[in-house]
């Protein structure tokens, strides 16, 4: 039976009267890659920073490894790797010195792991931090977050600044870690990343979790994207069917998102004398927008 590595219960954080997050509740199982998605400002970073005791909650509670995130933060940190959305380092240090310094915080020899990750990410460890591009600083953050072989990796918008090839290398590294049993919490507003990586997701809107489900359920939740080619002289109201959203008609081309019985859909389409029909799974982006309507 799987155990929970992260448990969040009615977690709220307010900055005066300003809402950060409100009554956020979810758990992440051991060995899971869990996606935490929503647009910028939805509360993803606030949740993560509260989990890591970088800020304190207004109410509610959170546990990692069964330990209270605030009371036992130093103990938890030994087994957690964290990549913030924006990385800030000592600008005058070389990459090598910075990573070696980070390794001393975990009281273990991380030299082999540092060398391996730096090579795969094509990171020049002899350069000074101040001379690095944004993308290379992100690579330093990745190595710093993984060098101690943590049990839990928390990633906040991790791919910003990485080129597509380096993103793929990064995802390969994450999958390898996950195959070793490492649990990953992956925050992003780029849904294709989440779709590629995650087992389950929580969708965050205005500081609240509005949906929690596995990735297959989300995509197979009876939503269909339908494209029809019909006689161009039909009226816009020729298709009468409950469950249709995002209806668009352009001449003889009709497209819409549909949720409901496929048999009812076919019955409704039949009188239109369609010359062509394509029914496909909508993208995660299109499903996501449904939640934000």
Instruction: Output the six-digit token pair for 56.
Output: 């304190």
Quick one: pLDDT at residue 51?
95
- 265: CATH: 3.30.70
**Does residue 257 sit in the same domain as residue 142?**
no
Quick one: pLDDT at residue 265?
87
Quick one: pLDDT at residue 220?
61
Q: Are strands 59-64 and 208-214 parallel, antiparallel or unpaired?
A: unpaired
Quick one: pLDDT at residue 206?
87
Q: pTM of the predicted model, to two decimals?
A: 0.81
- 127: CATH: 3.40.50.300
Give the pLDDT means over successive 10-residue stretches in the chain (293 positions).
Answer: 88 92 94 89 91 95 96 95 89 94 91 96 95 93 95 92 92 96 91 83 90 77 81 69 84 85 85 86 69 63
**Does residue 62 sit in the same domain as residue 167?**
yes
Quick one: pLDDT at residue 249?
85
Distance, in Å, from the CA atom of 195 to the CA atom of 38, rounded to the nearest integer, reads: 13
Quick one: pLDDT at residue 1?
58
Domain range holding 253?
222-291
**Does residue 31 sit in the same domain as residue 88?**
yes
Give the CA radius of gyration of the chain: 23
Number of domains in the chain: 2
Quick one: pLDDT at residue 124?
95
**Does residue 16 sit in the same domain as residue 94?**
yes
Residue 190 burial (10 A CB sphere; 0-12, 13-18, 19+) = middle
Quick one: pLDDT at residue 290?
67
Quick one: pLDDT at residue 85?
86
């Amino acid at each position: 039976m799987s155990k929970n590595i992260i448990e969040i219960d009615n977690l709220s954080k307010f900055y005066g009267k300003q809402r950060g997050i409100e009554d956020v509740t979810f758990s992440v199982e051991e060995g899971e890659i869990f996606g935490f998605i929503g647009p910028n400002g939805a509360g993803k970073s606030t949740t993560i920073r509260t989990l890591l005791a970088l800020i304190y909650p207004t109410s509610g509670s959170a546990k990692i490894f069964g330990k209270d995130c605030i009371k036992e933060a130093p103990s938890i940190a030994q087994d957690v790797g964290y990549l913030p959305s924006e990385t800030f380092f000592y600008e005058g240090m070389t990459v090598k010195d910075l990573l070696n310094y980070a390794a001393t915080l975990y009281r273990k020899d991380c030299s082999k792991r540092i060398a391996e990750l730096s090579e795969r990410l094509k990171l020049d460890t002899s350069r000074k931090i101040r001379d690095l591009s944004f993308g290379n600083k992100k690579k330093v953050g990745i190595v710093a977050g993984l060098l101690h072989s943590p049990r839990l990796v928390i990633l906040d918008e991790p791919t910003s600044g990485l080129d597509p090839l380096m993103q793929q290398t990064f995802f390969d590294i994450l999958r390898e870690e996950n195959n070793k049993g490492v649990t990953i919490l992956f925050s992003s507003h780029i849904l294709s990343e989440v779709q590629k990586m995650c087992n389950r997701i929580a969708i965050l809107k205005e500081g609240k979790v509005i949906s929690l489900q596995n990735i297959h359920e989300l995509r197979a939740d009876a939503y269909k994207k339908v494209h029809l080619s019909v006689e161009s002289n039909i009226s816009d109201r020729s298709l009468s069917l409950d469950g249709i959203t995002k209806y668009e008609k352009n001449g003889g081309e009709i497209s819409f998102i549909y949720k409901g019985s496929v048999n009812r859909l076919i019955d409704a389409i039949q009188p239109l004398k369609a010359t062509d029909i394509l029914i496909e799974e909508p993208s995660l982006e299109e499903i996501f927008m449904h939640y934000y309507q």
